[in-house]
Every structure is written in structure tokens, then in C-alpha cells.
Amino acid sequence: MNESWKVDKDADSVVWLTIDKPNTSANVLSSHVLRELDTILAPLTREPPRAVIVISGKKSGFVAGADIKEFTGITNIEEGFRLIHAGQEVLNRLEALPCPTVAAIHGFALGGGLELALACRYRVAVNDEKLSLGLPEVQLGIHPGFGGTIRSVRLIGVRAAMEMMLTGKPLRADKALRLGLVDKLVSADQLRAAAKEIALQAPAPHQPPFSERVLSWPIVRGFIRGKLEAQVASKARRDQYPAPYAMIDLWANGGNSYEAEARSIAQLFLSSTSRSLVRVYLLQDRLKALGGKGGPEVKHVHVVGAGVMGGDIAAWSALRGFTVTLQDRGVEFIEPAIKRAHELFDKRIKDPAKNKAARERLQADVEGVGAAAAEVVIEAIFESLEAKQALYARLEPRMKPDAILATNTSSLMLEPLTEKLARPERLVGLHFFNPVPQMPLIEIVQSERTDASVMQAAVAFSRKLDKLPVPCRSAPGFIVNRVLMPYLHEAMYAAQEGVPLAIIDKAAVSFGMPMGPIELADVVGLDVCTHVGEIIAAELGRPAPDLTRLRELVAAKKLGRKSGEGFYLWKDGKPHKPPADGQSAPQDLIDRLILVLVNECVACLREKVVEDPDLVDAAVIFGTGFAPFRGGPLAYAQARGVNKVVARLGELAARHGSRFTADPGWSLVGSTGAHSP
């Protein structure tokens, strides 16, 4: 019995293989699905039809990839090799069928899904903005394993194939056609007919131009290998992210051995990087699942405050299909936000009609009349308790009784904000991160009085915005800003000791952070860092470094990237860092920066700001970019050894002060702790 495949033979002796894995919204190539396909291919090999067409029965798309959860069960290299080699043999049999084979693709073909399509002689795809074709395995610390490292280069050439595999970024319709990854683009209603037409015509399969094939000649490979390795080295170290280097090695060593591909990926499966990145992927899936299905219908979103955050929240909401009214004191404050929104739409929406529709969904609303029609009202004004309370006094009487009132506060606790509300149970925190279009996380903040149904509605709304929600309790700085402040403050302590700013940043980046704390402060905005840091330090009663230099920069309107100068001078969106004149970082600097952050994560866990260690890690990964290959701060602590981390904090406390005193909650990490990568 085939559970996931349906086999039909039409009047022209064309066999249609429809993949439709039961009880899932998307197809995945689990080992069971591949074994089923293998049983189907055996009789087709003995008695070949005129053609075979592989198509999906899911509305969502073709095939999303391999079953990631199977990777977590691999315990040794030989086991990983057997799993991958078995899948390779199935796709090799598909490729070897003595008749034309076509993959009819709609929506997406990713990872193992694209490898399945590559094993077919031809690929026909639906030409729309949803089409996404890619080999994103590098994002899991591995590389394609079902023949993708071989067939992709053979089909589109080493440069295009390596760009796709090394970055993990998917290709859209036009580029996929131009490169030859697909043979034809058609409308959705033409997909089946076009697939059958190309199968019966059986033209010569695509191959890359001669100029690309030359690059794979043995005499040229060494030169290309060096360029590829230099390209990767500028973004990732081999010891931290081995997968891209393994891909280059496979190609440079011949690039046509399926066994070598399988053995390489089997080794990567067991690397700490892959274990951590798979964990990050599963954490992301958990956050997505929190939204559930349905929830109250939201059509209209009203945003108050057209600054950087409010304007970008409004723009993103309109991009995601909501009608949005944007309120501020005057139209002159709203116009810059509308302009930024149009730039976002132009970048993200290429279809002119859909672009126009998005523009029409976003409306300036100086008088705030949209508040009466909105299901969600988001306040995004400056961080002042009195100002927010005064705004709520004007807003709440105009809102629908069942509307959600959300605040984008980044530091204020919600309980004081509810004090003068008639319906305090309907206030929730929706803390977005800057820049809104790039940052995936939203902290969904619950006060002591927030109704559970409002929390769930806010989580569901965040998923409709395509964001990752982390529910948390109202507490100073919530999760992300709270753990960032000790990290940023420690950088200030180091600077006061004479460590050059660029050296401080370099130390953090060498650990795996996306940028250093000094650059991060400039990106966030020095005014924001100062204000939020003061609020959190006061609420928690924590010591803080001398911030005189920071306040001087703020007073001089040198606020960081947004003003063109902060700690660094910014040009074209990039910091210009002064040379460090050969100075090196103190030996304990990385531990000082990272362990003070990790220790604060433990405090959040102990205080139940979130419900478990996984959510702490998820918030810090998706909210700060914390080195993904380390699996999150608490996972990092477990991998290093909780007792060793606590002992190291003791050493740092003895040398640098009580800010490194180990939090009493470390036993929670040891007993319930984050999963070790």
C-alpha cells in the first residue's frame, strides 16, 4: 500500500506520480516516502511507459525537503550514511528510467524536494511570486545529500549551483528559467498540460554553456576552489560552519561521487554546528505552531506613532494584507513613514497591481478615526509612562470593546500602563524589533491582568504578520533587551579599561555574533540604548558602567547609524571602524561579554519571564542573532558544561566585580535545561 503516492496512467501511456503525504500541509521526503517511491519505480523500470510525471497533490507546493526530524535520531556516521545512501539510490533509479521524466512544480521545491526534481530529465514550474526553488541545507549545517551537489552543478554550472547551495537562498521564477533550473514557466492552469507536452516531445535536456562547463575541468578547479573558499571565508569560519567548505571540497575533488556526498553529509549530521542549527530550525517550528489556526479575524490595524518603529510596523502590516491607518500629530510626521513603506513595497512586491493595492491599504490618519474600526490598535510612541497613559485615555473610548490594545514598548512594564484603563485585560505587549522587515521575532507580553484569550489572539495575529511569537511575562526589558543590556554594558566597561572599540566588536564576532556590541548599539540607536538601559538598570537595581561618553554622544545628536555617526562614523549604511594598531583583546573578553548575557538568560528563566529554556534560547537567537551554530545561550552553556560556566562566572566575579555573580537559577538549566547540541 502506498500512503503518500498515487499512481495514474493516462490514455497516452503517461504515468502520473502524485505525492500527497497524509496528515501534513506540505510534502516531505521521509525515508518511508522514499521507500514507497522505490516500490513504484521497480515495475516502471521493467515496463517503461511513454513518460513519467512527478507532481504534488498539496495546495502548498511540490516538496518542502527531507524530514528534518529524522536527522535528530542519527547517532553515528555509518547510520547517517545508510539513511542518505538509500535515498540516493531511489533518486538514481528515477533518473535512470528509460523514458522521459518531468517534475511539475508549483509553490516550492526545496532541499530534498528540489533534489527529487533534479533527478527528473525536465522541470516545468508555475510562474508566480510563490515559486521558490532552492537547496537551503547549509542553514541546517549540512549540504544536499540526495545527489544535489552533483546534479545542480551538472545542470546549471558551478557558479550558479554553488551560489544557491552556499547561501541557501532560493531562486525565483525568472532567474530559475534563465539559469536552466526549470525548462518552462507556465500558469497554474497550464501546469499539467505543459508537463505532458515536454514529456512527449522530449527535447534535448538543458546543460550549462561551455564557459561554465570549462570551470569544472580539473586544470581549472583549483583556481575556482580558491575563489569559492575566499568568498565563504569572508562570511563564515570553517570551524564554526563546516558545511559550505565541505560542499566546495566535494566539487573540487571531482564532484561526481554519490558515495562521497553521502559520507560527507553523514559526518556533518553529527557535528555540533548541525545539531545546533537543526535545533534552531525546530525552535522556529515551535514558535510558528504557537499561533495555531484561526483566531479572531483581523482586517484593520491602527498604528499610533509614525516614527521608525511605528511607521515600519504599519508598513509591514499593510504588506501582509491588512488595512492600516497610521496616526501621528501631523501629516508631516507621517509622510516619511509612508515614503519608507513605498520603498519596502517596491522592493518586496514586483507585480504592479499588487504593489498599488498595498499602497492603498496604508493610509495617513492624523485625526485617528481608524481606531474606531480597527481590531488591533498598536501604540508605538516614545517610552514615557505618562505619555502612553494619556494616549490610552483618548484611544480606549473610541475602540471597539473587543479590540486589542497593543503597546510596542521595549522597556516599560505593562502593569503601570493598565492602571487607568477601563479594560486592562485587553492590553498586551507586541514588541517588534528593528528593522521590522528583517527581524523575525515579536515578544508577546502579558501583564498580570491580560486575558488569556487576548494573548492567544495576539500570538495568532503575529503569525499572520509572518513573525515568530515568543510569549513572555511583563518584566523589566522583557527577554531580549534585558539580556542585551548586560552585554552592551560589559562592552562599555571594557572600553573604559582602554580596549579599542573595534577590538571589542571583533571579539564578539569571533564568538559568532552577527556584529559586535558597539556596532549593535549604533544600529539600535544610542538614544534608545541609553534610555532603555537606564530603565532596566533602575528596575532591577543593577550596577551600570559610567555612561558619560554615551550621554555626550546623544546630547550631540550622534545617535549611531540613523544619524550618520555614533561610536562609529557611518557611510552607506556601514560603520567605518578606526584601526586598532595591532592591539589584541584581553584573554577573558569573550567570556565577559557572553557569560554575562548567558547569566541574565538564567535569571529570566528563574523568574519565569518565559515558561522554559527553549523559549529563552529562541528569543535570544531570533531577537539578537546570537550565534546560531551554538544553538542558543542556554544550549551553549550546557554544551560547555553548566558547572564549568558557573565556576568561570566565579572567577570573573573575583576579578571584575559582583555583576558576574552566578544567578541562583543555574540549577534549572542543569535539571530541565536546554537541549545540548
62 has a pLDDT exceeding 50: yes
CATH number of 290-472, picked from 3.30.360.10, 3.90.550.60, 2.60.40.10, 3.40.50.720: 3.40.50.720
Q: Which fold has domain 480-585?
A: N-(1-d-carboxylethyl)-l-norvaline Dehydrogenase; domain 2 (1.10.1040)
For residue 677, what pLDDT is reported? 38
Q: Which helix (H) or strand (E) holds 655?
A: helix 642-656
pLDDT digits (tens, 9 = 90+) for 85-116: 999 999 999 999 999 999 999 999 999 999 99
In this prediction, residues 581-601 reach a mean pLDDT of: 93
Q: What is the mean pLDDT of the chain?
A: 94
Has residue 5 got a pLDDT over 90? yes
State the DSSP string of 454-511: HHHHHHHHHHHTT-EEEEEE--TTTTHHHHHHHHHHHHHHHHHTT--HHHHHHHHHHH
Q: Quick check: 616 pLDDT over 70?
A: yes
Domains 290-472 and 480-585 share a fold: no
Domain boundaries, the chain: 5-270, 290-472, 480-585, 590-672
Q: Which pLDDT does position 639 carry in this prediction?
A: 94
User: Which one-letter DSSP state was computed for residue 564?
Assistant: T
| Angle between helices 613-624 and 589-606 in degrees, nearest 10 | 130
- What is the C-alpha to C-alpha distance for residues 515 and 512, in angstroms, rounded to an integer? 8
User: Of 112, 334, 138, whose CA–CA distance to 247 is shortest?
Assistant: 138
CATH topology (fold) of 5-270: 2-enoyl-CoA Hydratase; Chain A, domain 1 (3.90.226)
What's the pLDDT tens digit per position in 412-445? 999 999 999 999 999 999 999 989 999 999 999 9
DSSP letter (8 states) at residue 49: -
Amino acid 46: pLDDT: 95
Mean pLDDT of the region 639-663: 96
How confident is the model over 207-243, as pLDDT tens digits?
Answer: 999 999 999 999 999 999 999 999 999 999 999 999 9
**Average pLDDT in the 548-552 region?**
90
- Chain-centre distance for alpha carbon 622: 7
Residue 14 Cα distances to 8, 96, 199, 437, angstroms: 8, 17, 9, 45
Give percent above pLDDT 90 in the chain. Answer: 90
Q: Are the beta carbons of 633 and 598 closer than 8 angstroms? A: yes
At residue 586, does pLDDT exceed 50? Answer: yes
pLDDT tens column, 296-315: 899 999 999 999 999 999 99
Residue 538: pLDDT band with limits 50, 70, 90: confident
Is-above-0.85 flag for pTM? yes
**Per-residue pLDDT reduced to its tens digit, 125-175:** 999 989 999 999 999 999 999 999 999 999 999 999 999 999 999 999 999
First-last CA distance in the chain: 37
Question: Is there a contact between 486 and 541 (Cβ–Cβ < 8 Å)?
Answer: no
pLDDT of 326: 98
Amino acid identity, position 313 = I
Question: Which ranges of 253-384 does DSSP label H, i.e. alpha helix?
Answer: 258-269, 272-290, 308-319, 331-348, 352-361
**What's the gap between Cα 397 and its chain centre?**
38
Give the pLDDT band of residue 674 (cuts 50, 70, 90): very low
Render pLDDT for 241-253 as a digit per residue (tens, 0 to 9).
Answer: 999 999 999 999 9
Cis amide leading into 435 (omega within 30) = yes
Q: Which pLDDT does position 1 carry in this prediction?
A: 64
Question: Is 90 exceeded by the pLDDT of residue 294?
Answer: no
The three three-digit cell numbers of residue 603, written as one number: 535569571
675 pLDDT above the threshold of 50 = no
Q: Known catalytic residues?
A: 431
**Maximum separation of any 2 CA atoms in the chain, in Å:** 82
Backbone φ and ψ for 498, nearest 5 degrees, come out as: 100, 5
Give the containing element (helix H, strand E) for 142: none
What's the CATH code, domain 590-672?
Answer: 1.10.1040.50
Neighbours of 105 (CB within 10 A): 30
Write the pLDDT tens digit of every residue in 409-420: 998 999 999 999
